[in-house]
Structures are given as structure tokens and as C-alpha cells.
Structure 1
């Protein structure tokens, strides 16, 4: 049976996508390649392009064609092959951690080895002794053992202190006894555990000499290295289908009095005496915070890629997709005969589409500059802690917690808004947005639930505000600066007179600072004076964290752009647009504070429209600057050359159902229904028709 094919001689209506995208790129008032170099750096781009070439030309990793058409069983098996091949390439090319990260981003599929590289090995590196690194890290680096990170349980996730799995030390046999005392103590959601991992870093309650010291990390072997069968005392498996992440075997595990040796306890910071079982505390219980900050800084930077990728697809497609006509400003082209012809309007020319998409583009760049700033602060804090100075840690930890919450929430919303902005075609997996959304969505929950994390941020800000009021805070970090500034000018007012005044970065920053400081003061009043409960204040607590982190992002965006002459010329308008659109969404807070008037809020809305018009000509150039290859996007709508309709039809042809002219199952299910009244059929020119068909008028024939 011949597969379904579209007629190859037919072309899309003029003007075609390639022409429209080229026109868009020519509108940009900046050098796109220059901006790409400024974002990534030349060395990074050289690495990126080299690794991209290796992946695209690899017989296993180069083909992503199955991803939108296969069930989980096929995809998982292919993911196993890809994981093996990726580990081989890492060895063959001697890739650094940065190289591996580039390869993972480009391949864009979470596989069975995801947590082996991202959590298992880094945990041993950061919390293991030299002996443990020799015993576990070295073979893990050679992929002789495969690991995962088992923390979350069926009944506890965000509340790590509530974990139920126990590890009780027995000094007589110098081993820990692992046990799952309840159904809810089952480890759950553990990536790579279901069918892949041989070992796990397990977070369990350390009990020694009758005392519970709370959750600590252990290295536990879970499967036989020869047969891959679970070890006695272990029940392990896959948790089943998920909303996305079909190529990861998220698993469960339960322990039944499993003994593991003393060396299993990761002992760089705290120890258990092998003979007596005495627990030795770490020198500083805040040491692990540094790792958390680094992980969350990476999540902020990843949000840049996520938002920019979604924006790339939607903005390119919106520049090509033409619908209706803007009668006030009709689009005209010169046809092949040299005549001027009015054509339909690209949807990106409609203000509502700009209002939906251009602020998302601005968010991507805001995440870029904030991610960079977070990394700088992380390394500065590490240097301080090495000298015994932990004064910088609390502010950095609080801000990183809130930023993880804010940026991942933004990213999830951005993917979905971009998908909707692509109209009906956005619902196709071939848009490159559906599966992308499914696989990114867990980010709002893991590494800290996005609502719970905000409590850490707000708690720090409230404590800082109280100490400043009492004259006891001498720190010089960003939070202290703007809260102190607010306390010295509570009665100040926004100075905006005309809409254009909102393009002053300092004016915008003052509004954001006043907003969050006022909210912090009100929360302190509610808790300390009105004696409201923390639970009753949780909505305000969430909003304080959001406001604080929006201020951080605006500040970092402005500083990164306006302190650099190249960025200022290219991204100045986009930075202002980010500040304006963020403020417009949150303007109720500022009006409540009294800092802005309703009349000023109307001027703000006017200026948003003005800035959208200024950014619009650069839209395609600004997404192009992120330089996402088609290999990564895997999108018919966002294809770099603009061949949207050709790619859509090609991807429809690849649908397995279209490889049969008559679908499997027809004889079993459709034929019995259709042929139940076969006595009424006759044949006309060799084709089955209902009797009387030839006598029917043309418009009534089947």
C-alpha cells in the first residue's frame, strides 16, 4: 500500500516564508551575529558548533524523527541507545562538563542517565570523602555503575525533614540498616531508578545510638552488577506514565531491613564513628546552601533558553503566518509580473500578537542577564565562605530561591502562551512546543516547589527589614540597600508627568523598589502588630517574593544593558519594555502603596504600546541572536528558513497512519459496519456504490 504523499509541484501562497523571514531580518537595526557573540562569547560558540556537528552527523543521536510518532516503549529503548552513545562520545572527545551540558541541551531529551550526571556524581564530588570518590565516583565517571538521587518520597517532597526512610547504624556489624516503615516512605519520582540505575544516593533519616539526626545522604547499591536484578531487601520499579518525560524511568524503591556498609554514609561534612556510632556534626550547617544556590542559578539560566526557544518558534511563525488585512496599513508586495499586490497581513503586525509575544522575548533576555549575575554572585560567595565569611550567603540563598520560583513559572507560562499564539498549528506536536512544554513542566515543582520556595525569600526580607528598623543591620547587599532607602523616604511619589518619562531606567527601578519595600513593611505590620498568623499571610508572602525577584531581574537587565554601549544600543528598548510590561501586570501593588496615581498608570499603558512598536522591527533578529539550530528546535513552525508549510506537510507524511492507504483494523472494525447492508451495494466502473447512486443528482451523490 502506497503511503500518502502531498503533490510536490504545489507551493505555498506568495509571499513564501523564506522571503518573509528574510525581510524581517533585513529590518533589524543591529548586527545579529554581533549580538550572538555578545550573548555567548566566541569560544562558547566555537564549542557549540563543533558539538552540534558531531551530534547531527551521529547515526544514533542525529535522528530525532521518531519523537513525535512513537509510544513510550519505543522512545525509552531509543533513549537507552542514545544514553549509551552519549557516554561514548564524552569519552571519545574528552568533553568537559561545559561540553556535556552543550550536548545535552542540543540533544534535548532527558534520558535514563540524566540524574547520573546531574545529581549522583556531583553529590559524591561535593559531599564524599576521598575514599568514597575512589570507590564510587571513579567507576561512575567510567559508567561502570549508573546512579540516581533518591530523596522524594510518596508522602513527602518539599518537606525534606519529614522524610520517613530510616538508616539505623549497627556498630556491632558496622553497617546501616535501611528500612521503609510505611507505604508513604517509598522513594518516588526518582529519575533513572525505575529500570536503569545500579546505585542511588539515598536521603534517609540517620539513627545512631537511639538518636534521630534527620535526613542524610548515603550511597546504596540497588541492583546486582552482573544480572541487573534488584538486591534482596529491595522493591524497585517504574512509577508509570507521566504527563511528559517519557524517556526517563522515574522510579520507586522500598527497603526491607537492607544492610549497607559504613562507607555508604557520605562523610565529607558529618561523620558516624565506625566503632562507637557517635555522630559528628558538620563544622557549619550552611555549607550545603552553596550547592543549592548553584543549582538554582543554573535553573535561572536555563529559563533563558526555554523562554527564548518558545519565543523563537512563535515569533518566526507569526512573521510568516498571514491572516486577514490591516485596512489602515495594508501589506503590499511586487508580484512576478512586477505589479503591486495587496496581500494578507502577517499576524506579528497585529498589536495584540506583539503584546503577547514581545514581552516574552524581553523575559528571555532578562533571564540571561540575571542568570549571569547569579553565577557571579555564587562564585563570589564561594570565595567568601572559603575565608570563613558566611555573611553573603543568606541574601544569596533567599534570592536564588525566589528566582527559581519566578523564572520557572514565567517559562512554563511563556511556552503555553507562545503555543497559543501559533493558533491551531501550535496544537500539533510538530510545532515543537507541545512535547517541549510537557517535559519542562516539572521544573516548577522539583528543586523546591514554586510556592513553598517563596517563603524562604520573604522570611529573609522580613527579618532584614526588622533588623534595619532596629538599627542592627550593617550589611551592604542589594536587599539592605533598597529597604534602607525606602525607610528614609516613605512619603516620596513617582515623578512621571508624561508617558515618555517611563523610559528612564532609574524611574522604573525606583517604582519596583518602593513597591516591594512597602509590601514588606505591610507584612511586618500584619505579623508583628496585628498578630496575623503566618498561614494567613501566605498570599502576601508569595507576592513579596515575586516582587523582590522582579526587582532583581529588572535591576540586572538594566545594569547588563545600560552599562554596556553595545548592549545599550541593541537591547535598550527591549529592557525598558520588560520593565514596563512587568510593572503593568503588577501595577495594583504600586497603586495600593500610593507611590503612583491612577493617571500615571494610564500613561504607563500608553508607553507599553509605544515600546512594542519600537521593538517590533527587531523581533525576528532578536530571536535569531539566540542561534537555536533546527536540530534543537525540531519545529515545523520555527524552522530557520521559514519553510513552514513544506515542513508541516512533510511531518504529516511521516505519520505512521499515513504509511497505509487503508488503516490496520479496517477489516475488523469498519468493514462489518459498512458492509452490514451490502445487499444495497452495486458496482459502477469497478467502484462500490449504494444502489440508485447513478440516478441521484450530482450534488446528492456520496
Structure 2
């Protein structure tokens, strides 16, 4: 019966799935790349991952090292391009030191090193004759980079910096790849020369011998221990690092922004610090793409299993109802399906934004930076929070079986959830957005027009004055009405915060007092950006039978599910009436009915292989129960019919032969 469920679902699809795959991937070439590299990884026994959750930490970590080395030999022997190599690493689907080496260490040298420094270090890093990580966060400080305590003090008598960990809280803590693998690290430390502290700068430091891998003198380095989940992020050697007056050459300071002369004089290079923002935009763009990827995997599992699973509602002789047919299931699942597509279009737009910012920076144009910094901070925050919550929701949507590691969902969640904290804590990032919004409003009086994603605030007077025009359900699927609704919500919450802060004893006191309201306003601003980008993407030419129609339905589901989920915002600002909210809910139910026949085909369009999903519940063939049963029997716990410990601990209980302790109470 299960086999036929998904086959039937696919027959009911009303659009061209192959064309939708191209929309999701970005081009036919990308679809081919995904399939080619995906197959290469899935067919290689070294990359097997179904046994990951039953491995102890040491075995698990050693296996990760084996996979990384095997991947590197494939990359070299097949002469893979950078794009192919990156795809290969992502399909191995296991957090590893290579993520930090390629994703943080190399970009930091590119972004902050001078041309000479890049010529020295990059060839070594590209060949992996050195392996690097990114040591910024400390035991006592993460988000507040300016509060870092590690020091690098210049000694002109030897032309060296002396790097030191002055307190316990100055211990570097969390960097991936640091604990056991990296030979080098980009270390963030306070630059002190001539008795003056010039704040936090980046240094490249060797931490282990290139001969025997032992830590260098004065360096203490170790792994920080087991983390949340079974496999999850436990494949990564997140580490701790301390320095006891370790000396490094002066030119190990990454000097693109500032240098220190032979005599200890601090010299800014004239290159604006903002140039470093390019790397940050790049990382945040990648995080948003990852969010769409992880969420799409969870949604694929939940949609397929919801179509296979049947419960209740049976009439004599008829099968039970597919779980996906219940409105309670659709109202939780379909908005997440729409969100995965929304975040994919957002990621594509952020790639354009990154190119635009880099081109402007090269020309010395920093005008868009405050707005780009704020919007990328906020988008990182909302996409990762929503995705982490969405994966957990998908687990619940799979009922009891979702709790099994075989479902793939607990592992997916454990591997994903750190994204809510790394590269900026999500609440702190939203407070950064709030500062930008408050500043933008304060400049309106001086005639400065906001631009980019904040341009709508220039129209604040109209957005405050004009309430929602919806009269009937169908009005809600008018892009202009939706756009106005999200702009009005954001503008009204932002203006209300500004008014509250203005009435406070001083600005900082106001910020502190109304920080929860500021977070709400920032979230509204960011959700407006996502809705706008989704609608903008659909103005372009998109080919394939009924592909555009499906995307429009998904776009409306995304926007209206936010209207209903954030109803409080829309009602409290007086923009919507409760009647209009009911109309939105009614329209959303109609959209769910439109989506229902296409749900399985829409997750097929994500093009995730069974290997990549790693889920018995999300299998393409829908053969769930037989495989759950077989997987259970393969578990190491079932290696023998009588368990270890029977003779010692179970038999004495059953036979009443326990030795009683000879102690008296």
C-alpha cells in the first residue's frame, strides 16, 4: 500500500517537476552537477552514514577524518573544480574540519591579508599542506568581539608579537577544526604596541608541529567535549586554545587594514575596515542558502511520510485517511514547504547583493553598507531560527517514528541548530537591525531618503495612515495588498518603538527597556524583505508547465501564513480588523487545497537523493515500514538474541538470586 501512495501522489502533480528542479537549482548545469556528484558520494562505501548514530565519539571522529582524506584524494585524482569539490564536501553531509578550512580560514586570509601575505599562505592552504581554523570566540566572549581578552603585544627588540591568554575567560573556545586537526589558526587578539591597545586584530598562528602534529611550545589545545545529539556536530573537533607568551613574527599580523612597523608604530593602511564586510555578507549569504537546504530536507521527509502514513477515518472496507489530508497537518506542513522555496529565492538575491556590495567597495562606495549589514544580519537571524524550529516541527509531524534516528530528523536538527548561534547570536543580530531602523527613521526629518530594503520607510506617513483594504478572501492574493500589509506592519512597529525610545530618559535606557519590541520590529522588517524577494523573483520569466502557478501559490502561502502567525502585530497596530484576519485564514485554507495534489512533486523538485536525506521515513519509494523493521534488526543492540549483562544482572533478578549487601541501615 505504501509503495502505491507516493506513486499515486506523483501522478496527481499538475506541473513539470524537471522544470521546477531547474528553478530550485538555478540552472540545468547545476541540476546535472548535483546528480553527478550526489551519485559519486552515494555510491562510495567510505561515505556511508547509516551507522553514524551507533558509533562512539572517538570512532565517529576518526571516521570523519577518513571521509575527509578520502574526499581530498577524489578531488585531486579527478581534478575537480572548486564548485565540484565544494558540492562533494556538502554531500558527504558531515560537519568536518574542512568546513572551517575552506569556509573561514581561506576567506579570512583573502579578506584581511595583503597581496604578499596571500601569496605566502594561500598556496599552502589550497594544497592543504597546512590546515587552518578561525579562532575568534572565547570562553567569556562570543558576540561581543570588542570584548575579547587574548593579547598580542609587540616586542621591538625581536620584531615579534607575544601572544598571551591572560585569564581563564580569554581561552579560545568553540572553533571547529581546532581541537585535534588544525596546524594553523586565524587568532583574534588585542594588538598592543608602544603601551597602547589598538583593539582586536587578526593574526595567523601555527599551533601544531608540521612534523609530528604535537602542539607547539606554549600552546595548550584540546577538544571541548561531547555536544548535543548523537552524531550531529560531534563529528567536529570544536576546540579550546591557550597561549603562554607565544612569539610570532611581526608579519603574521594580517595587514590589509593596518600594519605595525619594525619600530612598533601602528599604521592604518588606508583600506577602510568596511572591506571586511564583504566576507561577512558572503558567509551570511551561504547561511541563508544552507537554511533553505536543511529546511527542504526536513520538509521532504515530513511530506513523503505524511502521504504514506494513514490514520483514522476508515469506512467499512476502505483504507484509513492519509495524514497529509488532515487540515491540522497541512496548516503546519505547507507553510514550511513554502518557506523552503522563499529562502531559496532569498539566497539567490543575497548572492546578487554580495556581488553588488563587492563591486561598490572596489570603487570606494560605502553608501549601501549600513543597510546591507543590517539586512544580512537580520536575514541570517530569521532564516536560521525558522529553519531550526521548522526541522523540529517536521519531526513532530512524523509522530512517534520521527523521534527515531532512522527518521533522519533528530540528526538533521542536531547538526543544524548551532546555526542559531554561530556567526552572530540571533537575538543580538535583530537588535543590530533595530539600531539601523531607529537611525533610518531619525534621518527622515533631515530629508535623507532611505534606500534598498528600507526604502519603504520613506513612505511611513502613508503606511501609518492607510489601513488594510481587504473586503473578501480573494483580495488577499493581490501582491500589492500583501506588499502594503507587510510594509505597514513593519513601519508601524518601527515608529512605535521610536516613539517609546524618544519618551525614555535617554536613548540607551529606551533601547534596554523596549528591546523585546525592537526585536519584533526587526523581525517584521526582515519578513517583509523575504516576502518582497519572493514576489520579485516571480516577475521574471520562468518556464515549464504550470511551474509559475505553483510558485505563486507557494508565495501566497508563505505570506499569508505569516499574516496569521503574526496576527498580533497586524491587529495591535490597528492595520487589520479581526474580520480581515478571518478572510486571510479562509484564503489560506483554499491555497492549501490547491497545494495538496502537488505536495509530493514539490518536494521531489528539491532533488534530494535517499542517501543525502538519510531517512527511512523520507524514502523516494515510500517503502517505510519494511525498512524501519529491517533497520531495527540491524542495530548493534540486536547482534545477539540474549543481551550482554543477562547473566550478571537480569538472571539474578528473575531467579531471586541477588547477593544482598551486608550493611545495616
User: What TM-score results when the alignment is normalised by the length of structure 2?
Assistant: 0.95
- Post-superposition CA distance 1:650-677 (Å, at most 9, x none): 2112200111111122222222223345
Is 2:342 the counterpart of 1:366?
Answer: yes
Please name the residue that 1:295 is paired with: 283
Give the equivalent residue in structure 2 for 1:144. Answer: 129
More moved, 168-177 vs 519-528: 519-528
**Pairing 1:78-477 to 2, within 5 Å after superposition:** 78-243=63-228, 244-325=232-313, 341-471=317-447, 473-477=448-452
SS of 2:330 mapped into structure 1: helix
C-alpha deviation, 1:585, in angstroms: 0.9
Distance 1:184 1:276 in 2: 28
Asked if the contact 1:205–1:212 (Cα under 8 Å) also holds between the matched residues in 2, the reply is yes
Find the partner of 1:58 among 24, 39, 44.
44
Structure 1 CA distance for aligned equivalents of residues 542 and 275 of structure 2: 39
- In 1, Cα distance between equivalents of 2:276 and 2:314: 57
Q: What is the aligned residue count? A: 648
Rounded Cα–Cα distance in structure 1 between residues aligned with 2:463 and 2:404: 53
Does the Cα contact within 8 Å between 1:168 and 1:178 map onto a contact in 2? Answer: yes
Contact 1:21 1:642 in 2 (8 A): yes
What is aligned with 2:603? 623
* Residues 28-65 of structure 1: CA deviation (Å, up to 9, x unaligned): 1101111001221111112122212222232412x223
**Distance in 2 between the 1:254 and 1:476 partners?**
45
Q: Residue 548 in 1 paired to residue 525 in 2?
A: yes
User: Which of 11, 31, 38 is 1:45 aligned to?
Assistant: 31
Residue ranges of structure 1 left out of the alignment (5+ in a row): 1-14, 331-340, 679-702
- Kindly state the Cα deviation for residue 560 of structure 1 after the two structures are TM-superposed: 1.1
Which whole-Å CA distance do the structure 2 matches of 1:609 and 1:173 have between them?
73
When residues 326 and 400 of structure 1 are mapped into structure 2, their CA distance, relative to the original with a 3 A threshold, is farther
Shift of 1:160: 0.3
Query: Contact 1:169/1:277 (CA < 8 Å) preserved in 2?
Result: no
Shift of 1:581: 0.4
Residue 597 (str. 1) matches residue 577 (str. 2): yes
Q: In 2, Cα distance between the equivalents of 1:95 and 1:379? A: 24
CA contact (8 A) 1:171 1:277 kept: no
Aligned to 1:505: 479
Question: CA distance change for structure 1 residues 659 and 358 in 2, over 3 Å: closer, same or farther?
Answer: same
The Cα offsets for residues 154-191 of structure 1, whole Å up to 9 and x where unpaired, read as 00000000000000011110110000010000000111
Q: 1:304–1:367: 8 Å Cα contact kept in structure 2?
A: yes
Structure 1 equivalent of residue 490 of structure 2: 516
Question: Aligned pair in 2 of structure 1 residues 507, 563: CA closer, same or farther (>3 Å)?
Answer: farther
Matches within 5 A, 1:1-20: 15=1, 17-20=2-5
Alpha-carbon shift at residue 109 of structure 1 (Å): 0.3
Q: Deviations over 1:562-611 (max 9, x none)?
A: 44454532211111011100111112111122221121112112222121
What is the aligned counterpart of 1:492 among 462, 466, 482?
A: 466
State the Cα deviation string for residues 171-213 of structure 1 (Å, max 9, x = none).
1101100000100000001111111111111001111111111
The SS at the match of 1:535 is helix
Unaligned runs of 5+ in 2: 659-665
The corresponding residue for 1:335 is: none
The 3 A distance-change label for structure 1 pair 542 and 106 is same
Alpha-carbon separation, structure 2, partners of 1:222 and 1:98: 30
1:332-373 Cα distance to aligned partner (Å, 9 max, x none): xxxxxxxxx411111001110001100000000110111111
8 Å Cα contact 1:562/1:568 also seen in 2: no
* Aligned residue number for residue 478 of structure 1: 453
Higher mean C-alpha deviation, range 561-570 or range 616-625: 561-570
Q: How far apart in 2 are the matches of 1:118 and 1:357?
A: 32
Aligned-residue offset at 1:476: 3.6
| Residues 208 and 277, structure 1, Cα contact 8 Å, conserved in 2 | yes
Structure-2 change in CA distance of 1:499 and 1:487 (3 Å)? same
Match of 1:672 among 635, 648, 652: 652
- The structure 2 residue matched to 1:72, chosen from 52, 57, 61, is 57
Structure of larger gyration radius: 1
Cα deviation digits, residues 488-510 of structure 1 (max 9, x gap): 45321211011111111111110
- Asked whether the equivalents of residues 151 and 190 of structure 2 are also in contact (C-alpha less than 8 Å), the reply is yes
Coordinate RMSD, CA, aligned: 1.6
Change (3 A) 1:582 1:154: same
Contact 1:233 1:256 in 2 (8 A): yes
Identify the structure with the greater helix proportion. 2
Secondary structure, aligned partner of 2:531: helix
> How big is the shift at 1:326?
6.3
TM-score (norm 1): 0.90
SS class of match (1:246): helix
